[in-house]
Amino acid sequence: MSWFLAILFVVLFSLILSRLNLLVFSKKAFEVSNKVWQTIKSKKLSDLEKETILKQNSKVLFTIFFRLIAVLIVAFSGAALLVLGIVMFTPTVNYEDVFSVVNSVSFIFVTLSFFGLWYVLTRVPESGYSIWSRCIHKLAFNTLIVQYWLVKIENLFVPRQAPEKPVFITALPRAGTTILLDILYETGRFVSQQYSDMPFVLLPRLSRWIGNKNKVLTEPKERWHRDGIYITQNSPEALDEVIFKLFYYKNALPYQKLHLFTGFPNNNLFKKFYTAHINKLMALKTTSDDTVRYLSKNNSNILRTAFLEKLFPESCIIIMFREPLQHALSLQKQHKRFMQLQQKNPFTLSYMNGIGQDFFGKGLQKPPFFKGDNLLQAAETIEFWLELWIDVYNKVLKQKKESATFIAFEKLCNQPQRVLALLAAQLQIPSDKLVLASATLRVPEKQNVVLSNKGKELHTQATLIYEKLLNRSL
């Protein structure tokens, strides 16, 4: 019993410290101390400048120090009082026994070992995911079938009505889909998958509860692409590919197989499952506005628009595109970046494969036009990405879906107010917030490249397709 109370004391002490933000104060103290040290070592600052900076930071350090002392006293007193309260009502134990256990070498060793292990498991490296978090993600990625049956039970309590006028944004990656997703989401008129829905995408309530408990991505952080887009746990993200993966990818469930660029059967089971999932996200919305609609961004939907229209006849499908050479260069750049990133941090490959994002890096899927042996080596060339652009957008044009809304990335950046106003009219939402968001758009710097003869031929072919797309765009 004494050991139990001693452990209870440590647990209570730790919980109170956590609630009182001890780690936040400690991190701040470390940052200020480091700044002081860098100031002292600096050869660029004059003595007067050093003195001014040191005085300012000394005040901050003293404030943090007294707060830390206060937090420790409160945590210790609170935990001790609770344990002593239990001791008072437990005749077989006295506080001296508990105190002797807490001060024993074995207990101190076990406690320090536990905290050391917890630090190692929860320490967040540059990748943004601790060992503990990576284990949870891998568990989620490898238990989709288990989650499927849990969701089937959960869906018994979810409304079955079809979502009203859902919006699907798609394109080859690097065409501005994330920017448009963020702009639309910020209007407050839509619900979407969020980073907080990871890792159990099929069980968003569970994932958001875990995310809130673990305080993941609470501060804005630039995403892995290093393209100036910052994210938090509440940022919208392309995650519904996990549902397609569950139903159609090879070795997921014994239904129809799927390759990224092939057609889809009209699967009623999939429609029921996807509809229920959307309704769950609608139930998690933070606004009481009944006009809120579902918003999805999924690059893999680029050749599934006909299938999406069959699923949701009232849906609005937005297809984005970009000048082919600049688009191909951006795709090539990201592929090379993710090849390096996944070599350095294998978890990024596991993460991207887990959510079905296989356009870049080592997880790149073989497109139908590629007949060679070394896909990753071919993807190092600009010709590969031009050929991919032609293959995809040529098929997009052949779908002949007049109801789709086409948006050129260049028009969106150069004429944002006009394009967003037209889009607002298409979506039947107020244009004021969209037009205000236009101030955040910027025209990316143009990249230059010397093309081979094959590259020039491909660029000419792609430009003809691009002009046809422009004629259909807002």
Please report the DSSP string for 69-82 in residue order: HHHHHHHHHHHHHH
pLDDT band at 12; cut points 50, 70, 90: confident
Distances (CA, A) of 440 to 215, 335, 405, 434, 437: 28, 26, 22, 11, 6
3-state secondary structure of 60: helix
Checking DSSP bridges between strand 221-222 and strand 230-231, what pairing results, if any?
A: antiparallel
What is the Cα 396 distance to its own chain's centre?
A: 27
Query: In this predicted model, which residue has the larger pLDDT, 194 or 248?
Result: 194
- In angstroms, the CA 375 to CA 159 distance is 45
State the average pLDDT for the chain: 79
Q: Which of these, 390, 401, 410, lies nearest to 464 by C-alpha position?
A: 390
- Domain ranges across the chain: 2-122, 139-472
Q: What is the pLDDT of residues 161-173, one digit of tens each?
A: 778 899 999 999 9
Q: Which of these, 237, 314, 320, 249, lies nearest to 275 by C-alpha position?
A: 314
- In angstroms, the CA 389 to CA 382 distance is 11
3-state secondary structure of 222: strand
The answer to whether the beta carbons of residues 396 and 303 sit under 8 Å apart is yes
Predicted confidence at residue 256, as pLDDT, reads 34
Token pair of 60, please?
């901050």
Half-sphere exposure of 453 (CA within 13 A, CB side): 0
Flag whether pLDDT at 427 surpasses 60: yes
Predicted confidence at residue 453, as pLDDT, reads 92
Q: Quick one: what percent of the chain has pLDDT higher than 70?
A: 79
3-state secondary structure of 141: helix
Predicted confidence at residue 55, as pLDDT, reads 79
The answer to whether the beta carbons of residues 78 and 16 sit under 8 Å apart is yes
Q: What is the pLDDT of residues 240-264, one digit of tens each?
A: 888 888 777 654 333 333 343 344 5
- In angstroms, the CA 450 to CA 448 distance is 7
Q: Which of these, 15, 145, 22, 172, lies nearest to 78 by C-alpha position?
A: 15
The answer to whether the beta carbons of residues 302 and 319 sit under 8 Å apart is yes
- 190 strand-pairing partners: 293
Q: What is the pLDDT of residues 402-421, one digit of tens each?
A: 678 999 999 998 888 889 98
* Class (C level, CATH) for 139-472: alpha beta
Flag whether pLDDT at 217 surpasses 70: no
Mean pLDDT for 303-326 is: 89
Query: In this predicted model, which residue has the larger pLDDT, 430 or 28?
Result: 430
Q: What is the pLDDT of residues 354-377, one digit of tens each?
A: 888 788 888 888 887 888 888 888
